[in-house]
Amino acid sequence: MCPKYGWCRPLCFFVLLLTGDARPRWAASCRTTEVSLRAYQPDDFDALYKLDQSCFPRGIAYSKTTLRYFLTLASAECLLAADQDAIAGFILSEVDGALAHIITLDVAEAHRRSGVGTTLLNTAENSLATKGVRTVFLETAVNNHAAVNFWLRHGYIKEGILKRYYLNQIDGYEMKKTLPSAQKQ
């Protein structure tokens, strides 16, 4: 049982929950992965750092100091997808009232196109909405077409271009999404 969220479920549970279909259309063209979701624990740091280094080019991936800084913010929320003992992916966000910022969403190469990123994002957005967050924003490189398409598919819109945002060379998109109000239970 996850101490922060009170549950851990395999990915197929969330696919069924979110789509209402045991095998969504996109699943025919990609593999599915059994993962459990849980909150970040300090012992996870080295694995998260290693994953971030593998997901982004040198200079764009976070340094140990910067990643540790974000993870220790009082307003930070980090959710992990674990495949047995390995980290399949994680999403790190920070909350400031009705605004949230997705700091990073990392998925291990072996788990891409399997629904891990979507599950992490949907779960994080639901958690943020229950905290009163109405708007989520993020940045992504304009030349990272897979990431741009992922965010667009999930309802994010391009708000503007951040000139020379990455490595003082690559432009970034600032993207945002308005979340629906959290449903009362």
Give me the helix-helix angle, 116-130 and 11-19, nearest 10°.
70
Tokens of 70: 């974000």
The runs of H, that is alpha helices, within 20-80 are: 45-55, 64-71
**What does the pLDDT look like over 11-21, one tens digit per residue?**
444 444 444 44
pTM for the model: 0.80
Summarize the confidence of residues 48-58 as an average pLDDT.
95
pLDDT at residue 28 is higher than 50: no
Cα 40 to Cα 83, 86, 87, 89, 127, distances in angstroms? 14, 13, 10, 11, 14
